[in-house]
């Protein structure tokens, strides 16, 4: 029998209203902040954009993300009329290295997601095997797949069965199986 999977809301759009429960609001903020910073990092990696983000939590704690740094992006924004100063302050050597590091990070994150998917698939296979394993009789199970405890239980059951068979053949009277 197949078990039903838990149906979630998935990526449905939720209404933009204030979340009433404080804990739910904090969790939602953390998830959205992480998603926003991840997208900003991808934008920097793919397009070479300079991005600066500052967000405040419901507890008024600031969080920031910047590429190449928050300070350099803010300085460039605040002195946008004076582009020559912003160009002089821009580090030339770090942009290539940070681009490579961002690409490596993106690859590692995607590998991590793939491994999580593999882990979930393996867990589902284990559950399916456990169901299959519990539905088969102990004498039908392959000995190679049993662990030591199961092998010892099988041995004691076979010894008991052998005693019953010997007793029935000697007396000629069926005693019945006591399993």
| pLDDT tens digits for range 17-47 | 998 999 999 999 999 999 999 999 888 888 8
Do residues 26 and 63 both lie within one domain? yes
Domain membership flag for residue 176: no
Domain membership flag for residue 44: yes
pLDDT more than 70, % of the chain: 80
Kindly give, in sequence order, each residue whose CB lies less than 8 Å from that of residue 13, ignoring residues fewer than 6 positions away: none
Do residues 113 and 47 both lie within one domain? yes
Domain membership flag for residue 65: yes
Helices (H), the chain: 22-47, 70-78, 83-89, 94-135, 148-171
- Candidates 151, 149, 177; CA nearest to 162 is 177
How many domains in the chain?
Answer: 2
pLDDT the model gives residue 115: 95
Do residues 143 and 59 both lie within one domain? no
- Candidates 90, 85, 55, 88; CA nearest to 72 is 90
pLDDT above 90: residue 56: yes
Query: Which range is least confidently modeled, 1-15, 32-46, 67-81, 145-159?
Result: 1-15
pLDDT the model gives residue 8: 74
Q: Could you give the 3-state DSSP secondary structure of residue 54?
A: strand
Domain of 154 in residue numbering reads as: 137-171
Total residue length of the chain: 179
More confident position, 134 or 34? 34
């Amino acid at each position: 029998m197949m078990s039903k999977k838990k149906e979630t809301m998935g990526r449905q759009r939720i209404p933009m209203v204030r979340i009433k429960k404080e804990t739910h609001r904090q969790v939602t903020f953390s998830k959205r902040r992480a998603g926003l910073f991840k997208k900003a990092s991808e934008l920097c990696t793919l397009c070479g954009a300079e991005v600066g983000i500052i967000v405040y939590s419901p507890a008024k704690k600031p969080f920031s993300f910047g590429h190449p740094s928050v300070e350099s992006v803010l300085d460039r924004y605040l002195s946008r009329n004076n582009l020559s100063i912003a160009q002089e302050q821009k580090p030339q050597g770090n942009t290539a290295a940070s681009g490579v590091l961002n690409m490596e990070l993106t690859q590692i994150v995607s590998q991590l997601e793939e491994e999580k998917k593999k882990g979930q698939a393996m867990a589902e296979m284990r559950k399916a095997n456990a169901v299959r394993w519990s539905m088969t009789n102990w004498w039908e199970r392959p000995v190679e797949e049993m662990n030591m405890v199961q092998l010892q239980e099988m041995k004691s059951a076979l010894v008991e069965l052998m005693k019953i068979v010997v007793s029935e053949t000697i007396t000629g009277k069926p005693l019945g199986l006591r399993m």
